[in-house]
Amino acid sequence: MASIPPSFRIILLGDIRFEVAEAHTVLPQRESLRRLAVHLALQPRQPLARKQLAFTLWPDDDPASALANLRRHLHLLRTLLPPVAREWLVVSSQHVVWNAPPDCYVDVHAFEREWATVQDMEAAAGLYRGELAPGIDTDDDILVRREELRQRYLALLRSLAHAWMERGDWDRAGRWARRLVTHEPWDEDAVRLAMTAMARAGNRTAALDMYQTLARDLQRELHVQPAPETTALYHDILHRRLTCAAQPDRSTVPVFIGRADELRQLTDLMRSAVQGQGRIVFVSGQPGVGKTSLVQEAIRRFVDLNKAQPVHVFYGYCQPMSNARDDRPYAPWRHILTAAATHLAQSAGSAAEWLSRLLPLVPDLAALRPELIASSQPDAAALCSAIRRSVQALALRRPLFLIIEDVHWIDTWSLDALIDLADVCLSLPLLIIVTHRSGFMMPSLLSAKRTLRRQRCAFDLHVQPLTPSEANRLLEQALGSAIDAATLEEIRRYAGGIPLFLREAIDSLRESQQQRLSKEKGLAGLRDSLRLRLRDIGERNRHMLEAAAILGFSFADDELRHMLNWLPSAYASALDDLIARRLLIDTVTHGSDEYTFSHHLIHHLILSDIPAERAAHLHEQAARSLEMVHAGRSGYAARIATHYETAGCALAAARFWMVHARESTDLAAFDQALKSVAHAESLLAGTSREVREVQAQAAVQRGVIALHRGETASALSLLQHAIERSRAFPSLYMYALVTHAYALSTRDHAEEAYATASQALELATLLHDTASIVRALNIRGVSALMLGRVHDAIEDLQHACASIDQMRQDDADLRSVVAQTTQSLNHLGTALVFAQEYTQARKILDQTVAMAQHSGLRRLEAAALTMIGQMTLNCGRYDDAVQIYTRSIDVAGESYKPGMWGKYAGRGWAYVRMGECAAARQDFTLGLQVAEQVNSQYGTLLMQTYLTFVDLAQGRMPAMSLTHLAALASDAQIHPVVYIASLLAGHLWRLLGDPHRAMEMHERALQAAYAANVPSFVLHARAQQVCDQLLAAPDAAGFAGADAIIEQARCADERPIQSLGWLARAGGLFRLGQIDEAVLSVEKGVIMARACPDQPLIGEGLALLTQIRAASDRSAAYNAELAEARLIAERYFAPLAIPLTMPQAHALRRMCLEVLLPSSAQCVSASNQPAVINVSRKRRAMS
């Protein structure tokens, strides 16, 4: 091999070219040629199979064409290579090799070498002139390698910025950080790096400009604000709290005194968590002992020592309740997930279905992902699961540390979510650290700790007070060595080793300018010490502290700013002074809150010193400020209500307690919602219109809560009461009517639901309330479907869809428009399925599924899938139907119980027709359980009818007769069950050889089908009727009816009905002695049945075919057909043994007659129906 010229280079980053000395050879802009060159250059000295290489480059060509293309491109590439490199392109009959010497320079390989020094890193960064092989966009291998190199380059830039920061060279650090921001403008970690470097280098203006550019871009493109950490850094730079420094001044970092063992344990736990073995760590100790400081110091040390392994740290904060009603569900998780909202929205693993569940908790997600829609059915289990999924997504993206402070105040819902994360901690890089006071623990928290210990997930860390020597070190560090021994001893005795007390004593000494305390006077108590500090802070600062204390222990900058309404300069000056005095802390650890008091004791002291009259005035100001700042956002109503109530504004407080009740309902915190409703009612006095309106809201909300809890009987009563109370308030009255109509529809009261929805629609139309019009039309359309008025339903639902187009122009909340659209499309698709307009229905239902998936509306997605499954079932595509119903069941989960029995019914019937009776029995049993849970008489009777048929199909004695079930359904006017029970009974009579009784039952099925007004029911009943007629007395009218049914079923693509029509023709032709035509017809019917595959229909067709062949002495295929028919009877459908005269036929005949001709004991009235249902369930369990 020829030696390589020292100046020969292959460049693939930023361009594709070959360099020899000063000469550059750039490849033509032919993508296939450039792809070939890149593949060879990146795999030197590796034989590449010609066929595989040709397929990789030209996958759409046939092999001969691909190889011809490869041959031409190899020739062209050789002519373009510099002369010295042409011999390195070795081509044989089987392989292609780029046989360049090992020292041949390729910039990609040079860039991928390991770095030893900062200079090596900078040299490597200089090699990255752009992305790998620009212009190639169709080669997956190159695209994957390109992204790997890009990520390596970004990591290199980040490492360079950190390396120069550690060396104190802020200019060079800033240069690399700005380059990183150029490539990743929305990477807020990179933006913070660049802002920090520029500010410390003295370029404060550029750092502030970078933040403002980021904020503008995020608002314009995503309609969101920068992350709290970025905003906090901006405030630090703006208020000059981030100082300039030529070198990092380590001496300014306070020395952390003591806690060596605790720090070691925490950092070890962090290291294990990063490796995928996390824990839930409980850090306990006395108030003021330094739990939070210990955790923060451990995190700081870990981050300093592990800069190559970045972690995410998010804080949640549990707040004390001012009263039992002030319980704020999921408070710490609201803080954590709000701070992490940007990361969740951008995470590839964040599915819309569970992000939508988080919307009531984290409203910011709606701005980040506008397609998300909050579920209309609150579900605590689903919300807890969504919290779990969000934590998993964050931990998979980057090691995650969650800090939850003061869990001795944790709410029940947050605690349940914490316990649910135990197994996640043990399997992912996730560490959860919770702090709580020792000796102050709720029973629920104690029980949770025991549960977590049993799961080997909990780790306890108790923080002790400082030892005397540690206390001395802290005092000497703060006050110097001049302090006398007597004063030291008195401070130690006063503080008891509690760091908070020690620091307060130090501050008292400093502020009073004493180097020792008077032995006559002695140290004051902590409260007196704090009052001493607060006495001289100035009137303006005092007013700010009082306003802040009224807002709460933690508060947002905007809240305080609006409450005080000061000039910006005066506000900034006072705030900086209070932070400098360590009375307030500038923090981003509590979600949206930007400031906290340095300790609860300081907060309580300031509150206790505010005169009552001024406190009431400040509480009213705070409520109005919160209203203004957080208008339209959830999670603040309880705070606003508490402030108004404390200020004596009872009516305003009651209004916001009702808002809190609605928010709690959305979070499925139903008990808390009822407490808020009751308290709102207790605040109301008098009979003014405003008071009566809030009372009406309370009545409606009680009904809504009962409905969401599944207590539909109670909900109907409560909503009826709410309707009466809300008549004077049109919008509320409409909402009550629509909700009542929906509750009626869930209890099968379709007529009442239709009438109530019509009433709501009339009122909404008068008020031009488009949103209420759409809601009323949706419910009325569904009620019309339940009543069998298919065309009325289609008309209503098409009107709803048309009205939504108007909402798109009128409604500012586009998310509600999407939800309404999805719901209306689903109902319209359902109506079209019932009308047998399958093509149009499938198009609309597919659109519904896509919209529901995109918006996370699982219940609507499952409902649309159910109707697609029903359509597929009607068409006889049973395998597809099973898969679609299974998907529907999986998507629905536990999100909506009332609709689940229908899904089990559909899948179970598909299983029956396929002959899988065991699977069908399991589905029908599950469906029966669900129907009974939701008190659906329709679902209960339908499942019992199906279970009776499965018993017969398996040769078992059923618990109830089909005739009796049809009678129960008829008494309750549940026409679909009357239709199905009568249809199955007629089928059995035909197998028993009694066509007249079969016709009688099928006539009853037809009348029920007409009453239900479902075209597919009518078609099936007519087909069975024609079959009976042609078997009994064939005539021209019967054959014409069969032909019409076959044609109608063909147009609707309903294979089972087509098969039944052909079998009916065959039976009539056989009776007339037209054997050849009969055989031809029955064969068509069997072929159609096999396409489903419908085992009972196949068996019935084969049984008829064997009779025809036996009568005509055509036995060529007789034995095989008879054997198959008997096999179907034995395995799939036992009653088929009766016409086949198999040995078990006599027993099966007796069993069928008992089911079809019930004893008098079973002939009970509908008034005893629940007892009959319960008895039947016990009998089935015994069998």
Q: Which residue has the tokens 């700005």?
A: 178
In terms of pLDDT, which residue wins out, 668 or 714?
714
In terms of pLDDT, which residue wins out, 178 or 524?
178
Q: Mind listing the pLDDT tens digit for each residue in 904-929? A: 999 999 999 998 999 999 999 999 98
Q: What's the pLDDT at 594?
A: 67
Residue whose C-alpha is closest to residue 848's, from 869, 831, 862: 862
Alpha carbon of 5 to those of 19, 90, 110, 639: distances in Å? 10, 19, 17, 76
- CATH assignment of the domain containing 1015: 1.25.40.10
Q: Look at residues 161, 185, 214 and tell me which one is the last residue of a structural domain.
A: 161
Question: Would 714 be classed as within a structural domain?
Answer: no
The Cα 969–Cα 37 span in angstroms is 76
- Burial of residue 1073 (CB within 10 Å: 0-12, 13-18, 19+) is exposed
- 1122 and 994 part of one domain: yes
Q: What's the pLDDT at 894?
A: 60
- Whether the CB-CB separation of 405 and 292 falls below 8 Å is answered with yes
Q: What is the DSSP letter of 466?
A: P
Q: What's the pLDDT at 1180?
A: 39
Residue whose C-alpha is closest to residue 770's, from 803, 795, 805: 803
Is residue 1052 very low, low, confident or very high in pLDDT (cuts 50, 70, 90)?
A: confident
Is residue 662 very low, low, confident or very high in pLDDT (cuts 50, 70, 90)?
A: confident
Pairing verdict, β 400-405 and 312-317: parallel
Question: Would 621 be classed as within a structural domain?
Answer: no
- 154 and 6 part of one domain: yes
Q: What's the pLDDT at 650?
A: 93
- Whether the CB-CB separation of 526 and 600 falls below 8 Å is answered with no
Q: What's the pLDDT at 355?
A: 81
The Cα 826–Cα 835 span in angstroms is 14
- 358 and 484 part of one domain: no
Total length of the chain: 1183
Residue 1116 has pLDDT above 80, yes or no: no
The token pair that represents 1144 in the structure block: 């078990």
Question: Would 1142 be classed as within a structural domain?
Answer: no
SS3 257: coil
Q: Mind listing the pLDDT tens digit for each residue in 787-806? A: 878 788 888 878 877 777 66
Question: Would 217 be classed as within a structural domain?
Answer: yes
Question: Would 1169 be classed as within a structural domain?
Answer: no
Q: Mind listing the pLDDT tens digit for each residue in 168-220? A: 788 888 888 888 888 888 888 888 888 988 888 777 777 887 888 888 787 77
- 265 and 404 part of one domain: yes
Question: Would 845 be classed as within a structural domain?
Answer: no
Is residue 771 very low, low, confident or very high in pLDDT (cuts 50, 70, 90)?
A: confident
Residue whose C-alpha is closest to residue 599's, from 289, 862, 815: 289
Range of weakest confidence among 235-244, 605-614, 950-959:
235-244
Residue 1164 has pLDDT above 50, yes or no: no
In total, how many domains does the chain have? Answer: 6
Q: Mind listing the pLDDT tens digit for each residue in 924-960? A: 999 998 888 777 888 899 999 999 999 999 888 888 8
Q: Look at residues 112, 128, 161 and tell me which one is the last residue of a structural domain.
A: 161
Residue 703 has pLDDT above 60, yes or no: yes
Residue 815 has pLDDT above 70, yes or no: no
Q: Mind listing the pLDDT tens digit for each residue in 241-281? A: 665 443 333 333 345 777 888 888 898 899 888 888 888 99
Kindly state the greatest CA–CA separation across the chain. Answer: 129
SS3 934: coil
pTM of the model: 0.57
- Whether the CB-CB separation of 198 and 207 falls below 8 Å is answered with yes
The Cα 235–Cα 238 span in angstroms is 5
**In percent, how much of the chain has pLDDT > 70?**
86
Strand (E) or helix (H) holding 65: helix 63-80
- 443 and 480 part of one domain: no
Pairing verdict, β 89-91 and 458-462: unpaired
Q: What's the pLDDT at 1162?
A: 40
- 41 and 180 part of one domain: no
The token pair that represents 41 in the structure block: 């250059």
- 408 and 280 part of one domain: yes
Question: Would 929 be classed as within a structural domain?
Answer: no
Question: Would 375 be classed as within a structural domain?
Answer: yes
Q: Mind listing the pLDDT tens digit for each residue in 43-90? A: 888 888 888 888 888 888 888 888 888 888 888 888 888 888 888 888
Average pLDDT, the chain: 81
Q: Mind listing the pLDDT tens digit for each residue in 324-369? A: 555 678 888 888 888 788 778 766 555 777 787 888 888 777 766 7
- 227 and 300 part of one domain: no
- 276 and 389 part of one domain: yes
- CATH assignment of the domain containing 30: 1.10.10.10
Q: What is the DSSP string of 149-190?
A: HHHHHHHHHHHHHHHHHHTT-HHHHHHHHHHHHHH-TT-HHH
Q: What's the pLDDT at 482?
A: 55
In terms of pLDDT, which residue wins out, 1169 or 532?
532
Q: Please tell me the number of Cα atoms within 13 Å of 1065 on its side-chain side.
A: 26
Q: Mind listing the pLDDT tens digit for each residue in 18-37? A: 888 777 777 777 888 888 88
Q: What is the DSSP string of 86-145?
A: HTTEEE-SSEEEE---TT-EEHHHHHTSPP-SHHHHHHHHHH--SSBSTT--S-HHHHHH
- 438 and 560 part of one domain: no
Average pLDDT over residues 596-621: 87
- 305 and 388 part of one domain: yes
Range of weakest confidence among 400-404, 493-497, 996-1000:
493-497
- Whether the CB-CB separation of 943 and 963 falls below 8 Å is answered with no
Q: What's the pLDDT at 882?
A: 92
Q: Look at residues 577, 592, 610 and tell me which one is the last residue of a structural domain.
A: 610
Neighbours of 827 (CB within 10 A): 30
Q: What's the pLDDT at 623?
A: 94
Q: What is the DSSP letter of 3?
A: P
- 94 and 199 part of one domain: no
**In percent, how much of the chain has pLDDT > 90?**
16
- CATH assignment of the domain containing 294: 3.40.50.300
Q: Mind listing the pLDDT tens digit for each residue in 476-515? A: 776 665 566 666 676 677 677 777 777 766 666 655 544 3
Domain, as residue range, for 1020: 975-1137
Q: What's the pLDDT at 516?
A: 39
Rounded to the nearest 5 degrees, what angle is found at the Cα of 834, between the Cα atoms of 831 and 839? 80
Pairing verdict, β 280-285 and 105-106: unpaired
Residue whose C-alpha is closest to residue 585's, from 235, 198, 191: 235
